[in-house]
Chain A
Amino acid sequence: MPVLVAEDLQKTYTSGEANVTALAGVSFAVEKGDFVALMGPSGCGKSTLLHICGAMDRASSGRILLNGQDLAALGDDDLTRVRREQVGFVFQFFNLLPTLTMADNIALPCLLAGMKGAEADARAQALAERVGISHRLGHYPQQVSGGEMQRAAIARALVHQPALLVADEPTGNLDSDNGAKVLALLSALNREMGVTVLLATHAADVAAAATRVVRLRDGKFAGDRQT
């Protein structure tokens, strides 16, 4: 069964009296263990699609199924629970909480889900070692490099073992060296741990790291190919 199924997704934003269509009927599915890159130019709707897939936003119409559950039918609290239990996020600007240490940032999804502190800490420690930042756990985000922040963000996104990892331009704010390292890490995690990844990017070299590329143009499906 696919992890994620999108059927005829439409999203319209209202700005004053004008309606802006961000998604105009997009359908696709992501199988467990896929590493899918959503590609397209700026404004094509890839971030909107990513947000809807990650239970951050709602579609105006259409269906979105995550592990068979229809997200469109869920209220705010249930969407929050879905994000907390089934989705991991990696953003362009890392978006770690500046008030928490790296360790607490990584452990946060587990703690929010009500896991015992020691268990959450142990998981955070293990993932930090896996992504190579265990020496930075006591630091605050603003005290480490961008690459380290993004690796911590990846660890945070995976610490609660989500069904889907959503990454929005994860290398967009990194230099090419750190960007390459982050992509390599995502590929490795996808291969080794079977993590399903849905990544949005406008850069071909980033999309090349994925096993499948879905193209969008003007809010519509524009192609799907395996790499």
Chain B
Amino acid sequence: MRLFTQFILRPLIADRIRTATTVLGVALGIAVVVAIQLTNASSVRGFETALETVAGKTAVEIAGTGGVDEGVLPSLGWLREYGIVSPVVEGNAALVVGDLTSLSARDLEAVRVLGIDILRDLPFREYQLLDLGDRAAGAEATDVRDAQQDVTTQKFLEILTDERSVVISEKLAKRRGYAIGSEMAMMFGDRVGTYVVRGVLKDEGPARVLDGNFILMDIAAAQVAFDRLGRLDRLDVLLPAGADLPASLAAIAARMPDGLTAQRPSRRGEQVETMLAAFHTNLTALSWIALIVGLFLVYNTVTISVVARRQEIGTLRALGLTRRKVLFLFLGEAAVLAIAGIVIGLGLARLLADVAVGMTAATVSTIYIATAAAPPDMNWGHVWLAALIGLPLSLLAAAVPALEASRVEPTAAMRGHDTLDMRLRLRPAMVVAPIAVLLAALGLAQLDPVNGKPLFGYLSSFTIVIGAGLLVPAIMYGLARAGRGLLRRRLGVEGLLAHANLTAAIPRLSISVAALSVSLSMMVAIAIMIGSFRDTVVYWVGQTLQADLFIGPGIRPSVGQEQTLSPDVIAAVQRHPAVTAIDSFRNLDLVYQDRLTVLGAGTFSVVLEHGALLFKSPANAREAVRQAIGQDAVVISEAFANKFKKRDGDRLTLPTPQGLRDFAVAAVYYDYSNDRGVVIMDVGTFRRYFGELPPTGIAAFLRDGADPEVVRSEMLASMDEGHRAFIFSNRTLRTEVLRIFDSTFAITYALELIAIIVAMLGVAGTLLTLVLERRRELSLLRLTGADRKQVRKMVIIEAALIGAVSQGIGLTMGFALSMVLIYVINVQSFGWTIQFHLPTAFLIQSSIAVVVATAIAGVYPARRAAQLVLSHDE
């Protein structure tokens, strides 16, 4: 231990910059991995927690596509044989906290609204009503804390008397300063209503949902608010104590009438988890890149230690220290760095998670589900995760230099003349083996997904990285041979020396170059994938967004399908003289083969006339869709087709309120708006099976010459105070689509940037190693007449060359990875066809940036090199 302190710990403390850089690298890697775990958890766990909190003691829930028609309730009387039944209406609304006229997102706050029949629901959920009298809840917080609890059914019955009465959570009351009797404005779809706070719930049970943004209403009031008269979202069933849940569930499921299903509440959480799996897996895969690059820093640092102290190692070996102990000394150094990195990384993780949640919450809520925008707290699981990946991988990274240290010969090292000859001797295996690995990657890319996950796609990407990494020494060898003359001609003696130094250190450099290349290749691959995707989306938007105006509820559509348009708004649109046609559409959550998909209703005749869908197949898709009008036929999105292996001509069995029904697939269309998969039926067919449901949006086509902006203003002006709708013109919606697209991928670039920063630290470390390793040669160079400026320039050229070679390899590797991302992983994860497009300008700019950045990373090692003391007999 004393030896470890003196030989390892003291130098680590003495060389603060190097130690801090390495610890920071590991910390960033660990932080990114844990932060992404927290971020992923925030969307799923947020939903699941909300689900569990609201579900309370519910054992079984009964629901159907589009909800439960109250008309079927009499036929479900037998449910009482199994337990207590409570009807529920539940959905998201927006609390208006700012200026309603501006309708900006800042002025609205998502709230979860639960509508219940209090007489039946009390046994299901925990409602702790606070008795506040008439005092303000928020004005004086002590009032809330000191309030007496008075939970009685009678009390609830007294306060939830009409459709404007609401009970809110204690937390919301405090935050917004609501008191009993306060009025609050809420938006349901496009309808703005004023509600009165009649009671405050203690922050327990469902009141904890969405961080306290919870509103309790009487079920009838909720039906009015959500415009779901005659409909319930589900029936919750509470089984008696000691009941056999699986048996009861099976028995209830067996007796379900057509169109309804019985399931455990947690099933919905599992479905959401499945829905988000691809999104999360991709983020997790990206987060690992930063960690792997961070571990490369551990390799670097331990290598520097070994190189800088060869003579000391030799002396210790001569004095009797065994090879094994030398090995453990340096592995111990890696462990110290890793533990420090893990501890700091865990601290950073929470910060990064907040940023990452901020960056992904918009995506998750826009494309998938409404969720609380805060990561969950870290727990011991995260600590273990960090320790279990950080420590062993750091030791693995340090194994190569530690072994090198253990092999130092005592006599040679003490004389200081045993520096290894690092010149690469190219063997055929160094080319053949990597090519074989790359061919294996090609083979893996051809394989089908496993359980809907592109496992072989990921494996193929990983194999490309391994193959390309193994090929790095041979590539560098080839470039070294080809580049000497050019460098000497263009960059003079410094170019010649830099070339000579790098050529002589290819084995040492290969790991640095491979690590940097991997990071850069991921950046290139992601840039190509996103560039291609964006181009495809721009084309798709151009082809499909044909209507002049798009009208939606005042709340962002993100908060769910329950946001609908009311007849008044539809009428305001329809009666405008400039409107020639409207296509109203309605979306519903559709559980198909136990996965959450989307069922949509559209007006096929309008779609055909205005070309609002871009069809993939069959060739005569428009004719097929024309024939589908009024028939039991649907069109499906490409994502749906790929996920469920369906194509035009196949049949789908869909759950409808009338039971399972068969529909013919008339056509497949391109859709990049979601990856869940969409089934669209003509509005007439939809109405036949699902009844009359209010639309979730309208597309309006205007007569020639009408100014969309003017029409938009006129429509908004014609709406009364009780209604607020978003009206996008074609141009603004296109901009909005691309804004959402860009914000979706912001996290991707952020993760990549971290990986590249860590890799840059690695380049600085490698150069420092080389400087220390070559200090005798550098000293000699200075004796021969090289001034400090020439030495600095030489090292910076080396750094820039490392950057250029890494970027060159990164570009090639990235191109291959982008193929796998676009044609394998993307198709198997999301089911989208993306047209390949090379973002040339970005790639050129980023290549220049990488070379400049690596040159900058070389500044510190260059200064160290120029400061070496002159001596020729070290």
Contact = CB atoms under 8 A, between A and B. Distances in A.
Q: Are A and B co-members of a single complex?
A: yes
Contact of B783 (A76, A83, A140): A83
B500 A80 contact: no
B770 to A, nearest CB: 11
Nearest to A86: B785
Nearest to A111: B493
Shortest beta-carbon contacts, A-B, top 10: A84-B785, A111-B493, A99-B500, A99-B504, A80-B787, A112-B785, A83-B785, A100-B500, A95-B780, A112-B786
A99 B785 contact: no
Interface in A122-175: 140, 142, 156, 160, 168
Contact of B421 (A57, A113, A117, A142): A142
A143 to B, nearest CB: 10
Contacts of B500: 97, 99-100, 104
B781 A97 contact: yes
Contact of A97 (B777, B870, B873): B777
B503 interface: yes
B783 A56 contact: yes
Contacts, number: 74
Given A80-B785, A112-B785, A112-B790, A97 B780 contact: yes
A89 B421 contact: no
Nearest to B499: A99
10 contacts: A83-B785, A84-B786, A92-B873, A95-B780, A97-B780, A108-B493, A111-B492, A112-B784, A114-B492, A168-B872
A57 B784 contact: no
A80 B783 CA distance: 7
B503 A83 contact: no
Contacts of A83: 783-785
A56 B870 contact: yes
Interface of A: 56-57, 76-77, 80-81, 83-85, 89, 91-93, 95, 97-100, 104, 108-109, 111-114, 117, 140, 142, 156, 160, 168
- Output the residue of B497, B784, B787 with the most chain A CB within 10 A: B784
Interface string B376-406: 0000000000000000000000000000000
A80 B780 contact: no
B416 to A, nearest CB: 11
Given A80-B788, A99-B777, 11 more contacts: A81-B785, A108-B493, A108-B781, A108-B784, A109-B784, A109-B785, A111-B493, A111-B496, A112-B493, A112-B790, A142-B421
B488 A76 contact: no
Interface in B334-357: none
Contacts of B501: 99
A93 B873 CA distance: 8
B782 interface: yes
B303 to A, nearest CB: 19
Chain B, interface size category, equals 20 to 34
Given A57-B870, A91-B873, A80 B488 contact: no
- Output the residue of B421, B500, B781, B790 with the most chain A CB within 10 A: B500
B787 A81 contact: yes
A168 B786 CA distance: 20
Interface in B834-874: 870, 872-873
Contacts of A93: 872-873
B784 A156 contact: yes
Contacts of A97: 497, 500, 777, 780-781
A97 B503 CA distance: 13
A75 to B, nearest CB: 11
B872 A91 contact: yes
Given A98-B777, A142-B421, A104 B784 contact: no
A69 to B, nearest CB: 16
A117 B780 CA distance: 21
B489 interface: yes
Contact of B488 (A81, A98, A117, A156): A117
Contacts of B788: 76-77, 80
A113 B786 CA distance: 8
Interface in B493-509: 493, 496-497, 500-501, 503-504
Nearest to A54: B783
A89 B780 CA distance: 10
A80 B789 CA distance: 11
Interface string B464-507: 00000000000000000000000011001100110011011000
A139 to B, nearest CB: 12
Nearest to A110: B493
A80 B421 contact: no
A104 B873 CA distance: 22
A142 B785 CA distance: 22
B243 to A, nearest CB: 81
B870 A99 contact: no
Nearest to B789: A77
A89 B786 CA distance: 13
Contacts of B872: 56, 89, 91, 93, 95, 168
A193 B78 CA distance: 119
A194 to B, nearest CB: 22
A210 B456 CA distance: 76
Contacts of B493: 108, 111-112
Nearest to B790: A112
B504 A98 contact: yes
A47 to B, nearest CB: 8
A29 to B, nearest CB: 24
Contacts of B785: 80-81, 83-85, 109, 112-113, 160
- Output the residue of A76, A112, A114 with the most chain B CB within 10 A: A112
A24 B375 CA distance: 74
Contacts of B777: 97-99
Nearest to A91: B872
B484 to A, nearest CB: 9
Contacts of B790: 112
Contacts of A156: 784
A142 B777 CA distance: 14
Given A57-B870, A77-B787, A99 B780 contact: no
- Output the residue of B503, B777, B785, B872 with the most chain A CB within 10 A: B785
Contact of A89 (B489, B504, B784, B787): B784
A195 to B, nearest CB: 17
Nearest to A76: B788
A108 B496 CA distance: 10
A169 to B, nearest CB: 10
Contacts of A56: 783, 870, 872
Contacts of A111: 492-493, 496
Contacts of A140: 423
A190 B423 CA distance: 37
A108 B777 CA distance: 13
A142 B425 CA distance: 14
Interface string B780-821: 111111111010000000000000000000000000000000
A60 B501 CA distance: 35
A142 B488 CA distance: 22
Contacts of A95: 780, 783, 872
Interface string B753-790: 00000000000000000000000010011111111101
B495 to A, nearest CB: 10
A76 B867 CA distance: 11
Nearest to B777: A97
A80 B489 CA distance: 24
Nearest to A57: B870
Given A95-B872, A98-B777, A99-B501, A80 B782 contact: yes
Contacts of A89: 783-784, 872
Contacts of A57: 870
Nearest to B787: A80
A104 B787 contact: no
B504 A80 contact: no
A196 B660 CA distance: 106
A57 B423 CA distance: 33
